[in-house]
Amino acid sequence: MSQTTGFIGLGKLGLPIAEKLIEGGFSLRVYNRTTQKAASLVARGATAVKTPSEAATGGQAITIVSDDRALLEVASEEFCEALGTGLHISMSTVSPVTSRTLAERHARFGGRFVAAPVFGRPEAAAAKKLWICMSGAVAAKEAAKPVFDAIGQGVYDFGEEVGAANVVKLAGNFLLTAAIEAMAEASAMAEKNGVPRADLLNMLSSTIFNCPIYVNYGKGIINSQFEPAGFAIPLILKDMHLVQKTASDARAPMPMVNLLIDRYLTMLAKGRDQYDAVGLVLGAAEDAGLQW
């Protein structure tokens, strides 16, 4: 049996990750703002607690929450003190600045911090198929290894600079959504010229673009699979703003991210906030005068 581990954040990714940890023999103390989400885990042996600090008392804690503000609120001074010299594994998609802030906060109490954002949709988490990026001190990453082994299919180490894994995660999410935008624009161009989008995307995703993003999101575009969202628009927009800020801080121009931000803002303005990322195809189609 692994050590008692606090788990904070039972959203679409957090819940299946927590389930995998229980299956792997971890004893979980779980916290979520919406307490009902913990019920299925409690039925499998987890203990529900009332505050993040209570979750941290076992000496190891995992967080996977929606944004930087939520993570900074969860990992408060009280939380860091409760964790003490233990380990905080942060799987949230946040800015590298937030990870550096939390690493410093934990260090004041002798604690360790690892940034470990993941790539994969909820169904990948349920199948133990996540890809994990990690960064932080060597000893902290070694201590986190049993967690990674229980939930993922592979881990990539990006060194000791604690914000590095977050930069990689943001870069990956940018590339993902840029690929969807490219497929959306290409589909609109093809349809306007009498080529069905299904014919276009099936051929390309079976040949020169035969990779998970083009195959899976291509199918979503072909079938208009806008709901339920695996990656909902407000969260994608949050990530694109983080990409924009991280690029700006580094003086690295990324003009395409501005287009993506505008696309997502348009979707929100049209009430499509519960759509999946493949909903980008609607913007490209409407610009081309197509009825989707």
Residue recorded with tokens 């919406």: 34
Give CA–CA dist 242/21, Å, rounded.
Answer: 29
- Identified catalytic residue from 141, 145, 169, 245: 169
169 is catalytic: yes
Segment (H or E) for 12: none
Q: Output b/e per residue, 19-32; b: 16+ Cβ within 10 A.
A: bbbbeeebebbbbb
From residue 253, give the alpha-carbon distance in Å to each of 137, 164, 248. Answer: 30, 19, 7
Strands 60-63 and 4-8: parallel
SS3 content of the chain, % helix, strand, coil (to 5): 55, 15, 30
Give CA–CA dist 271/170, Å, rounded.
Answer: 25
Residue recorded with tokens 């979503």: 220
Q: Which residues are catalytic?
A: 169
